[in-house]
Amino acid sequence: MEKWSERLSTLDALFLELEDRTTHMHVGAVAEFEGKPPPYRDLLALIDARLDQVPRYRQRVVFVPFRQGRPVWIDESQFDLEYHVRHTALPAPGGEEELKRLAGRLFSQALDRDKPLWEMWLVEGLGNEKGERFAIISKTHHCMLDGISGVDLATVLMDTEPSTNPPPPAAAWEPRPPPTTAELLVDSVKDQITHPLRVAKEALEANNDARKLLREIANGVRPILDLAGLGFAPPSALNRPIGPHRRFETLDLPLPTLRKIRRALGGSVNDVVLAMVAGALRSWLAARGETVSADLRVLVPVSFRTAHGRNTFGNQISAVFCPLPVGEPNPTERLRKVRESMKGLKESGQAVGAQALTRLGDFAPPTILAQAARLQAVTRFFNLVVTNVPGPQFPLYLLGRRLLSCYPQVPLAAQQTIGIALLSYAGNVGVGLLADLEVRDLAALAGALQSSLDELAAIAGSHPRETAPLSDAPPPREVDSTPPPAPEMASVPAGQQQDPARTPGI
């Protein structure tokens, strides 16, 4: 059998370099389902039957000796599904608090780099007055997913109908032999020579007009210079050294309320989300006795994945750095400032510039990438990440059990104590807040988010524009500024994908 390996992209490799003892670069989700949990063996059989649709989940990362090239993916010859899919139960009383505590502990544990970089936990013992439920907690390394591809990967487990039919037997899988160490070194040296040439050749072939190519290069360089002039993010209590342990909190918000605010006060749903976060941080920090007079800076992930690339692996993302008006006391004015900032960032091409900067990394040796990762660990370019993932607005099922809600998890960068991720699904927005374990009042921040949304909703309810009809067609744009590292357990089923950039109101 022919030997096989596939090299990681520069951005995927960078996510590995960013990881250390206290910085875990996995994305994840806590998904809650209705009814009794499926038998563990049934879940294993379902995953085994559909795993051939996501071959990356049977592959592991191998680093090239002496860092003479980007790492590669190879098939895991000793792949053990039961290692990756695990089974546990909550202690009594088995409520939301116990589930969040378990999620925080699981998100505190780094993935084993000697194995495929994912885990899934079937969690029993979850119930309340509404009846018995169960949960799935998932973790996947960021080098495999960028949010949009993460949504696609999850489709293999979810169905649009509550079918309980057993999956067909899994097809036999035979791992391909990996290259030897010597072959890896030789191939890496070749790649360092040919890859930059290939990138340049593809750019020229895509732009037959040399003047057009020069214009595009100039348009890309200008926002790169703008990025270079950003400087440090404002000092904040949100930014300090973190430990390896995490705390997780959840919140449910009605998507119709966010859309109502958007109709009445203008902007996009994502603008409303950022204004809500600004108001919540203002009240939460003030309650702690912190200064709230200055703006903060939030990193908002941006997807460049096209429809043709939706079923591919790896990261095709960039980001914009948006001022967050925490210092503004007026909720309406906060939303206006966010709306104007995001509009200006989209028009400036900052996300395109950041993507161009990332592509320049294709010309950099791995040692430079490692140094860049270490620089990021001591340089504060933003105060926190806020990512808003549009999901399907119809029910999904796992082995006949309906998905009730899903709460995404975004990793914490170095010196970032809090990250906020949102996922819309079936009319609900699940909010996942991940924090360093020492942030003991994280539940208060979740409450502040709810209060901030209620404040905007009250203003929208008395606003004359509130009765304006809702258009399901978003304004035209070149990039989608709302996605991010996405959860694995909430997605559009295969064959029925929604383009998140075209999800109404997102």
372-408: per-residue pLDDT in tens? Answer: 555 555 568 899 999 998 889 999 999 999 999 999 9
For the chain, the straight-line distance linking the first and the last C-alpha, in angstroms and rounded, comes to 47
Q: What is the pLDDT of residues 417-448, one digit of tens each?
A: 999 999 999 999 999 999 999 999 999 999 99
Q: Which residues contact 308 (CB under 8 A, 6 or more apart)?
A: none
Task: Give the Cα-Cα-Cα angle 441, 432, 252 (nearest 5 degrees).
Answer: 95
Domain span at residue 381 reads 232-393+407-460
Residue 292 CA to residue 236 CA, distance in Å, equals 9
| pLDDT for residue 269 is more than 70 | yes
Asked if residue 337 is part of any domain, the answer here is: yes
Q: Are residues 149 and 279 in the same domain?
A: no
**Is 199 among the domain residues?**
no
SS3 250: strand
- Count up the domains in the chain and report the number: 2
**Residue 140 forms part of a structural domain:** yes
Residues 425 and 324 in one domain: yes
Within a domain: 489: no
Exposed e or buried b for every residue in 76-95, given b needs 16+ CB within 10 A? beebebeebbebeebeeebe
Q: Is the preceding omega at residue 93 within 30 degrees of 0, hence cis? A: yes
Q: Which residues are marked as active site?
A: 142
Residues in the chain, how many?
506
Residues 252 and 172 both lie in one domain:
no
Range with the lowest mean pLDDT among 55-64, 76-85, 108-117, 186-195? Answer: 186-195
Where among 160, 180, 200 does a domain terminate? 180
pTM score: 0.83
Burial of 478 by CB count in 10 Å (0-12 exposed, 13-18 middle, 19+ buried)? exposed
How far from 291 is each of 238, 274, 284, 327, 424, CA to CA, in Å? 11, 19, 11, 9, 32
Residue 454 CB neighbours (<10 A): 13
106 assigned to some structural domain: yes
Handedness of CA 505, 300, 319, 408 (dihedral sign): negative
- Contact at 8 Å (CB) between 30 and 432? yes
17 and 117 share a domain?
yes
Strands 397-398 and 401-409: antiparallel
Task: State the sign of the Cα–Cα–Cα–Cα dihedral 480, 481, 484, 487.
Answer: negative
Same-domain check for residues 295 and 149: no
Indicate whether 309 and 448 sit together in one domain: yes
156/269 same-domain check? no
Alpha helical stretches, state H, 229-330: 255-265, 269-287
Give me the chain's average pLDDT, please: 81
Q: Which amino acid is at 464?
A: P
Residue 375 lies in a domain: yes
Q: Examine the pLDDT at 308 and tell me if it is beyond 90.
A: no
According to DSSP H, which parts of 315-381 are helical?
Answer: 331-348, 350-360, 366-378
Average pLDDT over residues 7-20: 89
Residue 100 located in a structural domain: yes
Q: How many whole angstroms separate alpha carbon 11 and alpha carbon 106?
A: 25
CB neighbourhood size of 458 (10 A): 12
